[in-house]
Structure 1
């Protein structure tokens, strides 16, 4: 190739980057993932809100059955989703890497939607046992969502736009939870009764699947909607950080388990995800009980206050996203500095709010609710921290990494409430609750300190398949 051709090629590539579309199909993909998460979390949270009406003995609607379940049975029903969810995390990452994020995301939302539609019938046929089975299967299906999202973003999100596209995607869970909390009371009181909560959430999932099949794609080169300008922009930006000659082939390679589990930055990510889930689910599931028993205010019975932490999480997340994009685009912060600053905001601000919550006077319930809202809201900054760091370390294996770290993290979301049950023997005793807050704050502090000191945004050597691996895969394909 002569010098003139090289200059022309580089000029075309530079022009494609500089002339990249501000809004394009990559944003459409993120919106589709956002809406998928939205309906998935409507399906996840529907039983949490519907079970109140299902167990209401004073219901004025005699057309729908009420169930006399014990508190133990209720806890069993509400936890059964997470049994399947944890079980599918690591296989979900492997399957997304093998078959593509599009198929696995469709499987996760679509089958879960069908199961939601059959939940009222399962209650009539097999009481709580059938519902447990339905919820287990829903969790099993949805276990592939986060790994699939990371797999898709690794193909669709240019490095400079990972923050805004990922935050858009991961705002879906909060939005879906807000929706189901807002409409569940009205649906349960309608002539269709509590079953309508499951029908609406399941029906939305089926509708979403049709749109997903029409407009989604695993990568820019597989999309029928993308322009050549946008495709060249995305692929050139991704190529700048990866020397892989064949991304499609490398995506079929087996996960480098030994390299991954001997990677210090990966272990830092795993610890961060565990600490985040411990803190988040402690705040979301236990602190409302703390406020009710210590401050004598039931925020769970108030739809507005119930949705407030999720709303704050959504709003703060979008604000952090906009701020992070501005700082990166104007080169105020490097990628490494951005990840660590936002992760610090997302972990140490909730840590401070939680410690302060333990010292709030019982007469200042409004201050307690504000601290809860700030704590849950600001942890969305971690979307721009450790959560994106999976793709920084290894775009080719981001989905597999997310499956592993999310599996461990969701185990923490199961253990955290159990520890509360062991320590808090008197729910009206603020001193016992304060010990729970110290444990949560300790997890946040240590995890973020490790992320600051030992975390990395450098592309890891094991991201790129070695030549012999490529040859072996190509031989197998042939």
Structure 2
């Protein structure tokens, strides 16, 4: 209710009315849709596979910390002399400042960077598997859409997005109406799960890299293991949360925090898997999976709205949590069955022998990461 009142305040002070706000939000979503594919393309060119978990997680954890910071600070900004417009001015200004810094310092690939040594360039290029001419290579869409590993990845991405946005959009209402917490006066409760997720990203990612680099488990096993932690762990938390009441606020907040925080495991699971499958086409693949998964972020709140007619009824919220847990279960199971973390033959140009290229990548990767006789389960 408070959120509705706040938006009503925004609309009352907007000269062009709600139509302009909706148009701007649609435009914002369209342009932001390019961010993840671009970031994945850069990561594929810049991040050595021996450090892929930690560095990729470090980049994407910014989304979690950003969510937490804006949840904490939005109430203070709204109550200040700037009001709601200040929230948009500050976040937009920070985005603009970052873009200017990026255009000034960023490079498309190590070979075109002016601030690193030749040795660094050779080291990075030898451990990425990305081709410097990949921009001119046609995307092998037919091969991608025929790949079972791609559909395993897509399922995992959709499962994560469904659960993440269900909790992001509905958690404040649940905490206010069922747990009877004043979320507005204690914004930290809303941001706590995202702080936890951001911090846990830096716990699971070095563990994943360590296990892979020591040869303890294969890369495919690592991706499936940590993605299972990141989706089946929250599933168990949501099942428990479905039976919490207003008299068990502490346990409910703990389960909510864990349900979001343990999602950090996915940062070493499906999120990196695009680069595992095809360093040359990680960006286009991310564009497809993120676009399809984005549809679930629209559907999930609509499903909640259809189920929860009485926001104070715990049994209706229990159904929401059970459905979300079921989505986690099904989607991650598909990833466990069909997922892979070996470079696919269609990563290379058609003129190159796909069999020889794939074997070369697997042999080089297995030697760089850990000695093993089983080249089929490591790069």
TM range (shorter): 0.7 to 0.9
1:139 correspondence with 2:29? yes
From 336, 352, 356, give the equivalent of 2:240: 356
Instruction: Report how far residue 438 of structure 1 moved.
Output: 1.7
Alignment match of 1:439 (pick from 299, 317, 323):
323
Separation of aligned partners in 2, 1:50 and 1:201: 18
Are 1:386 and 2:276 an aligned pair?
no
Contact 2:232/2:329 (<8 A) preserved: yes
1:263 maps to 147
Query: What is the deviation of 1:52?
Result: 5.7
8 Å CA contact 2:152–2:337 kept in 1: the answer is: no
C-alpha displacement of 1:406: 0.7
Question: TM-score scaled by structure 2?
Answer: 0.87
* Shift in CA distance, 288/228, structure 1 to aligned 2, threshold 3 Å: same
Trace 1:200-219 onto structure 2 (pairs within 5 A).
200-219=90-109
Aligned to 1:311: 195
Once residues 254 and 357 of structure 1 are traced to their aligned partners in structure 2, the CA distance between those partners, rounded to angstroms, is 47
Deviation at 1:425, TM superposition (A): 2.0
SS in 2 for 1:299: coil
CA distance in structure 1 between the partners assigned to 2:69 and 2:143 by the alignment: 42
State the partner residue of 2:336: 452
| Bigger Cα Rg | 1
- The equivalent of 1:5 in structure 2 is none
Instruction: Tell me how far 1:345 sits from its aligned partner.
Output: 0.7
Answer yes or no: is the 8 Å Cα contact 2:178–2:245 preserved in 1: no
> 1:344 corresponds to which residue?
228
Q: 1:372 aligns with which of 256, 281, 287?
A: 256
The residue number in structure 1 matching 2:356 is none
1:251 aligned counterpart, secondary structure = helix
> How far apart in 2 are the matches of 1:176 and 1:406?
19
Q: CA deviation at 1:415?
A: 0.5
Q: Trace 1:15-164 onto structure 2 (pairs within 5 A).
A: 53=6, 55-56=8-9, 67-68=11-12, 123-124=14-15, 126-164=16-54
Distance between the aligned counterparts of 1:437 and 1:185, measured in 2? 27
Deviations 1:123-147 (A, max 9, x none): 33x1221122222211111110011
The reply on whether 1:424 has 2:323 as its aligned counterpart is no
Query: Structure 1 54/450 Cα, relative in aligned 2: closer, same or farther at 3 Å?
Result: closer
Cα pair 2:47 2:124 within 8 Å, conserved: yes
Give SS of 2:97's match.
helix
* Distance of aligned partners of 1:134 and 1:266 in 2 relative to their CA distance in 1, 3 Å threshold: same
Aligned length: 352
TM-score for both structures, normalised by structure 1: 0.70
Q: Determine the C-alpha separation between the residues in 2 that align with 1:337 and 1:454.
A: 12
Q: CA deviation at 1:209?
A: 1.9
State the alpha-carbon separation in 2 of the partners of residues 273 and 175 from structure 1: 20
Instruction: Give the match for residue 287 of structure 2.
Output: 403
Alignment partner for residue 235 of structure 1, among 117, 120, 125? 125
- Counterpart position of 1:183: 73
1:299 is aligned to 2:183: yes
* Aligned-partner Cα distance in 2 for 1:192–1:431: 40
CA shift, 1:53, in A, is: 4.8
Contact 2:212/2:219, CA 8 A, preserved across alignment:
yes
1:278 aligns with 2:162: yes
Aligned twin of 1:75: none
Tell me the distance in 1 between the aligned counterparts of 2:163 and 2:87.
Answer: 29
- Describe the superposition over 1:232-265 as per-residue Cα deviations: whole angstroms up to 9, x where unpaired: 10111235xx7xxxx2333222221111111100
Distance 1:300 1:380, change over 3 A: farther
Q: Offset at 1:343?
A: 0.5
2-side partners of 1:444 and 1:270: how far apart? 13
Who is 1:320 aligned against?
A: 204
Give the 3 Å change call, closer, same or farther, for CA 187–293 of structure 1 in structure 2. closer
Contact 2:61/2:201 (8 A) holds in 1: yes
Partners of 2:77 and 2:174 lie apart in 1 by: 29
Counterpart secondary structure, 2:247: coil
Using a 3 Å threshold, how does the CA distance of structure 1 residues 203 and 52 change in structure 2: closer, same or farther?
farther
* 8 A contact 1:188–1:197 mirrored in 2: yes
Q: Distance in 2 between matches of 1:355 and 1:447?
A: 17
Do the aligned residues in 1 keep the contact of 2:50 with 2:213 (CA within 8 Å)? yes
Contact kept? 1:339, 1:384, Cα under 8 Å: yes
CA distance in 1, matches of 2:217, 2:148: 24
Q: Is the 8 A contact 2:152 2:336 kept in 1?
A: no
2:289 and 2:250 mapped to 1: Cα distance?
36
Structure 2 counterpart of 1:195: 85
Measured on the aligned residues, the alpha-carbon RMSD in Å equals 2.1
Tell me, in whole angstroms, the C-alpha distance in 2 between the residues paired with 1:456 and 1:210. Answer: 38
